[in-house]
Amino acid sequence: MTDTAYGPSYLYIDGEFITGGDRRHQDIVNPATGQRIGSLPHARIDDLDRALQAAQRAFATWRQSSPLERSKILRRVAELTRERAPQIARELTLDQGKPLAEALLEVNTCAEHAEWHAEECRRIYGRVIPPRQPHVRQMVLREPVGVCVAFTPWNFPFNQAIRKMCAAIGAGCTLVLKGPEDSPSAVVALARLFHDAGLPPGVLNVVWGDPAQVSHHLITSPISRKVSFTGSVAVGKQLAALAGAHMKRITMELGGHAPVIVFEDADVEAAAQLLARFKARNAGQLCIAPSRFYIQEGVYEQFLELFTAIYGSLKVGDGLAENTQMGPLAHARRVDAMDDFVNDALERGARVACGGQRLPGTGHFFPPTVLTDVPDDARVMVEESFGPLAPFTRFRDIDEVLRRANALPFGLTGFVFTNSIKTSTRVVNDLEVGMVNVNHFGITLAETPFGGVKDSGIGSEGGSETFDGYLITKFVSQASP
């Protein structure tokens, strides 16, 4: 395989890889070059129905499988993931754009997610409740919820999909998953990994198509029992409403707008170095990206200078080029969105410290951009920008910054830099988020829970909470005759 070879894409239904026929096909485009690199088959309605029926049939036996059997398959998935990581990562860079080293990191880290679920699925325990009569036994059983439907996005195509697959499959559920049509190779590779690891037909099914049509069909089907979605707040609310109308369980991992709070007593240089590199990850297209920078006034200029010097000089280019530190945005609509955010901020009095304009030439490139003295009502401070924009503002004291940081409906994650235990404890207690980082970045590990509050979602993935959304509680009260 040459460096730019891109394998074929398939639907995966009832253990078969399917393409062609009279199905609609969609072009797959390399965001670094704008060139067409492949073609993705969309599921017909009868494909979606076959996937649901296959998942329903498979559930009858998979729900009875021993946790040990599920665990062995997940371990094998982890092994195969590591073996195939170089090839999976290269295709991920080709259709998503992130630098190859980041793509490799994403894939290799996911082997740990598979291993974690392999371990934890053997510890899905019920409990015994002491009875009120001696001949009665009371038990709480935890059973798989049934056929799940899941929708995963394009920013971390391998990571987002494998976590949902492992959680559903490890719990004893079966799954129909729609991956991201813009960047499909990672999910096609995952279907192949589970298939080759020995997963029985129908336990996992992968489909593609028009997102709104596919999600409506899968969620409203009487076969599906649970909906899991990662993506924007707006779409998450639509899907949650649809799931609610049909009384289906949900896990929602939605957008964030992470406040970064740098206090005067922090190690400002270390904070600037860490934040500048983390901000560039995946060109800022991650829901936990630092995206609103609140800097205490005494260190504002110093932090701005240090951060901009590093962030503004990162090398932007094709993710396959060796020295690239930040790739293109995943598709053209993100570049247009960056233009709109910057223009709005400038109209409201902000200034550009670096970047600020899309890069000329082919590909969807927007440079690392720092905006300074951005007012709180600028769109970039209010909406999730999901790109390489770093808007800065000053604050005076902790009460003020907490009030401003908590003012938005988002509640995914936040970052605080301080050398005071009193200050960090206050922020940890009062910041309205599902995950807090103090003086470093420590989230997204397999063994730790990932999830938000407020508009950022419902439920957690990872950690020992990972199966909660995929299990139902059944109470048994049994009297001996």
Residue 253 lies near ligand NAD (rule: CB under 6 A): yes
Decide if residue 149 touches ligand NAD (CB under 6 A): no
414 scored as a contact of ligand NAD (CB under 6 A): no
Instruction: Using DSSP, state whether 464 is helix, strand or coil.
Output: helix
Stretch 100-119 residues interacting with ligand NAD (CB under 6 A):
none
- Nearest approach, Cβ of 151 to ligand NAD (angstroms)? 4
Cβ(286)–Cβ(385) under 8 Å? no
The answer to the question of residue 298 lying near ligand NAD (CB under 6 A) is no
User: Looking at beta carbons only, is 31 or 180 nearer to ligand NAD?
Assistant: 180
Q: Scan for tokens 């609103």, then name that residue.
A: 292
Of 311, 386, 395, 415, which lies in the binding site for ligand NAD, with binding defined by CB under 6 A?
Answer: 386
* Rounded CA separation 311/315 (Å): 9
Helix (H, G, I), strand (E, B) or coil at 472: strand
Contacts of 322 (CB under 8 A, 6+ apart): none
* Residue 412 C-beta: closest distance to ligand NAD, Å: 8
User: Nearer to ligand NAD by C-beta: 197 or 412?
Assistant: 412
Q: Which of 277, 196, 316, 251 is nearest to 459 (CA)?
A: 251
Of 385 and 418, the one with the shorter C-beta distance to ligand NAD is 385
Query: Which among 180, 165, 162, 175 has a CA at the least distance from the CA of 14?
Result: 175
Question: In this chain, which of 38, 41, 97, 180 binds ligand NAD, going by CB under 6 A?
Answer: 180
Q: Are 236 and 376 in contact (CB under 8 A)?
A: no
| Residue 421: its H or E element | helix 421-430
Smallest distance, ligand NAD to C-beta of residue 341, A: 10
Q: Is residue 455 part of the contact set for ligand NAD (CB under 6 A)?
A: no
Strand, helix or coil for residue 184? coil
Q: Which stretch binds ligand NAD (CB under 6 A): 57-65, 111-119, 251-259, 398-406?
A: 251-259
Single residue of 237, 246, 333, 403 touching ligand NAD by CB under 6 A: 333
Q: Does residue number 153 form part of the binding site for ligand NAD (CB under 6 A)?
A: yes
Distance CA 146, CA 56 (A): 8
Q: Which is nearer to ligand NAD, 202 or 255 (CB)?
A: 255
Q: How remote is the C-alpha of 388 from its chain's centroid? A: 17
Strand partners, 370: 354, 390
Q: Does 88 bind ligand NAD (CB under 6 A)?
A: no
Q: Is 104 strand, coil or helix?
A: helix
Q: How far is the CB of 77 from ligand NAD (least distance, A)?
A: 22
Q: Interface with ligand NAD includes 231 (CB under 6 A)? A: yes
Query: Judged by CB, which is closer to ligand NAD: 369, or 423?
Result: 369
Q: Does 26 bind ligand NAD (CB under 6 A)?
A: no
Q: Is the CB of 215 or the CB of 308 nearer to ligand NAD? A: 215
Q: How far apart are the first and last CA of the chain?
A: 68
> Is residue 232 close enough to count as binding ligand NAD by CB under 6 A?
yes
Interaction of residue 372 with ligand NAD, rule CB under 6 A: no
Which of 120, 253, 383, 461 does the annotation list as catalytic? 253
Is residue 382 at the binding interface for ligand NAD, with CB under 6 A as the rule? Answer: no
By CB under 6 A, is residue 80 in contact with ligand NAD?
no
Q: Are 208 and 44 in contact (CB under 8 A)?
A: no
Q: Return the number of the residue (71 or 282) whose C-beta is nearest ligand NAD.
A: 282
DSSP state of 22: T
Active-site residue flag, 287: yes
**Residue 383 in tokens:** 């909406």
Residue 154 beta carbon to ligand NAD: minimum distance, rounded to whole angstroms: 5
**What are 158's two structure tokens?**
């391998």
> Is residue 254 part of the contact set for ligand NAD (CB under 6 A)?
yes
Tokens 């993100």 label which residue?
334
Check residue 291 for interaction with ligand NAD (CB under 6 A).
Answer: no
Burial class (CB in 10 A: 0-12, 13-18, 19+), 346: middle
Q: The tokens 């007593």 sit on which residue?
A: 265
Nearer to ligand NAD, 172 or 256 (CB): 256
Under 8 Å between Cβ of 404 and 419: no
Kindly determine how many residues on this chain lie close enough to bind ligand NAD according to the rule CB under 6 A: 22
d(CA 144, CA 303): 50
Residue 92 and residue 107 in contact, taking contact as beta carbons nearer than 8 Å: yes
Beta pairing class for 351-354 and 369-372: antiparallel
Out of 59, 151, 303, 415, the only residue in the binding site for ligand NAD (CB under 6 A) is 151
Considering the rule CB under 6 A, would residue 155 count as an interface residue with ligand NAD?
A: yes
Quick check: is 253 catalytic? yes
- Among residues 26 and 423, whose Cβ is nearest to ligand NAD? 26
By CB under 6 A, tell whether 53 contacts ligand NAD.
Answer: no
127, 53, 419: which is closest to 268 by C-alpha?
419
Which sequence positions are flagged as catalytic? 253, 287
Instruction: Enumerate binding residues for ligand NAD (CB under 6 A).
Output: 151, 153-155, 180, 211-212, 215, 230-232, 234-235, 238-239, 253-255, 287, 333, 384, 386
